[in-house]
Homo-oligomer: A and B are copies of this chain.
Amino acid sequence: MSSAAPRTTDQDHLWSVDEHLEDILATVRPLEPIELQLLDAQGCVLVDDVTVPVSLPPFDNSSMDGYAVRVADVAGASEEFPAVLEVVGDVAAGQAELVQVGPGQAARIMTGAPLPPGAETVVPVEWTDGGLGEGPVAGMRARSLAPEGATGHVHVYRPAEARAHVRAKGSDVKAGDRALEAGTVLGPPQIALLAAIGRGTVRVRPRPRVVVMSTGSELVQPDEELRSGQIYDSNSFALTAAARDAGAIAYRVGAVADDAEILRSTIEDQLVRADLMVTTGGVSVGAYDVVKEALESVGDEDEAGSGIEFRKLAMQPGKPQGFGSIGPDHTPLLALPGNPVSSYVSFELFVRPAIRTLMGLEDVHRPRTTATLTADKALTSPKGRRQFLRATYAEGAVSPVGGAGSHLVAALAHADALIVVPEDAESVEPGAEVEVVLLG
């Protein structure tokens, strides 16, 4: 039978969308963690709990620009009867050696500077004469204008309670506290916290490297001349962009001709930089479907689970699909159909969750919701197939964009959602509640 065309009886089994997805998610494993510089870890998933090594703030410090004083020395102070204190010097942020504040004394202190020994509280500079003897001021003189620092006397016009305007050591986080939990996605505020506790590097799952390759002898690169029978390659661009959008480092290989040997050697060549490979085209029942031809035989017979399997899915668009692993590292490979919309929908349903699984994310799927169908006429759908229709969604209502034809890439560019028509529905009336995948 090897030289014959496949018989209907061989390939009758239709996989459901959920079975295919389950197979992918059961096969793809999160990448091994690596230690990355903080800013390189943005968007990545933390592998271990992070413990606070040193309390924050690490010392009592002032939350205002003002004067560090003793509480008793400013008790009862008012504009009419100010407390007059001897200024013993400045305390700047980052200063290691601190002046001692004795009874009747004040140290001029900057925001973030350590509370000097002897001082019990801080009065903001706006509650004082700033040492100028001319009533309340709005701020301090810049050091460049008075490089000698604070001297002389300061008039304080209001009292302050103990530890007023003082940020206590450990009031943000304490040494030994858990700063962040394993599994946290590192966004800007999490990176802020890691930096604040002194972590310059962090152990995360790296972004997966995804190689995207379209196939088809009819494909021409954009900006080149289109000859008879040719079309422009759009899949390799669309899926490279979509893989980045999902969090991957994506490499676009471009279009490979319909030649099984060239395809096989290109894939083998690219494996070295791939945590995941994605191809488009060549997976159906045609005589020139070389992806299927090239990959059906790549499995190592000694290795369980190796090799690419080609299937038919109970799905529209996106019926023919290939999935498996390839090469010495069992790199997962998804072979998507070649129609632009089929490949894009397949990417959203199967490749995106695979990428996010490689990243170690818990939430790998696009959000879904239900919405009321707004349409001129009923949607029709083939029985036994789950249909995904391009649509626009807003405030609980969803409208189809363009037709059901899998080549309508123009409609895709104006869609922000997919309407899901279940396998058992052959039509959906306007006004019905439908399931919607939000493409975000």
Which residues of chain A have a CB within 8 Å of any CB of chain B? Answer: 2-8, 10-11, 38-39, 42, 54, 56-59, 63, 65, 90, 92-96, 98, 108, 110-114, 125-126, 130, 132, 136-146, 149-150, 167, 171-173, 177, 179-180, 187-201, 216-219, 221-224, 226-242, 244-245, 252, 258, 260, 284-289, 292-293, 338-340, 344, 405-413, 415, 439
Instruction: Please give the distance in Å from A80's CB to the nearest CB on chain B.
Output: 17
Instruction: Please give the distance in Å from A301's CB to the nearest CB on chain B.
Output: 20
Contact assessment for B218 and A42 in the assembled complex, using a CB-CB cutoff below 8 Å? no
12 CB contacts below 8 A, A to B, read A5-B138, A58-B226, A94-B229, A96-B227, A126-B285, A138-B285, A141-B287, A172-B407, A172-B410, A192-B235, A194-B222, A199-B223
Contact assessment for A237 and B38 in the assembled complex, using a CB-CB cutoff below 8 Å? yes
Instruction: Please give the distance in Å from A238's CB to the nearest CB on chain B.
Output: 3
Q: Count this chain's copies in the assembly.
A: 2
A200-B221, A222-B195 are contacts. A179–B287 as well, Cβ < 8 Å? no
The chain B residue sitting closest to A257, CB to CB, is B94
- A408 contacts across to B, CB distance below 8 A: 171-172
Contact assessment for A10 and B187 in the assembled complex, using a CB-CB cutoff below 8 Å? no
Interchain CA distance A142-B90 in the complex, whole Å: 85
Interchain CA distance A232-B405 in the complex, whole Å: 57
Contact assessment for A412 and B234 in the assembled complex, using a CB-CB cutoff below 8 Å? no
Contact assessment for B407 and A192 in the assembled complex, using a CB-CB cutoff below 8 Å? no
- A143 contacts across to B, CB distance below 8 A: 287-288
Apart from A6-B138, A111-B286, A192-B235, 16 more pairs, CB < 8 Å:
A3-B141, A42-B245, A56-B407, A56-B409, A57-B407, A65-B284, A93-B218, A94-B216, A142-B289, A144-B260, A172-B409, A187-B241, A187-B245, A190-B413, A193-B412, A200-B224
A3-B141, A7-B137, A407-B57 are contacts. A412–B192 as well, Cβ < 8 Å? yes
Interchain CA distance A95-B237 in the complex, whole Å: 23
Instruction: Please give the distance in Å from A362's CB to the nearest CB on chain B.
Output: 15
A218-B94, A245-B187 are contacts. A140–B5 as well, Cβ < 8 Å? yes
Contact assessment for B285 and A125 in the assembled complex, using a CB-CB cutoff below 8 Å? yes
A56-B409, A287-B143 are contacts. A232–B197 as well, Cβ < 8 Å? yes
- A235 contacts across to B, CB distance below 8 A: 192
Contact assessment for A241 and B188 in the assembled complex, using a CB-CB cutoff below 8 Å? yes
- A126 contacts across to B, CB distance below 8 A: 8, 285
Interchain CA distance A231-B167 in the complex, whole Å: 13
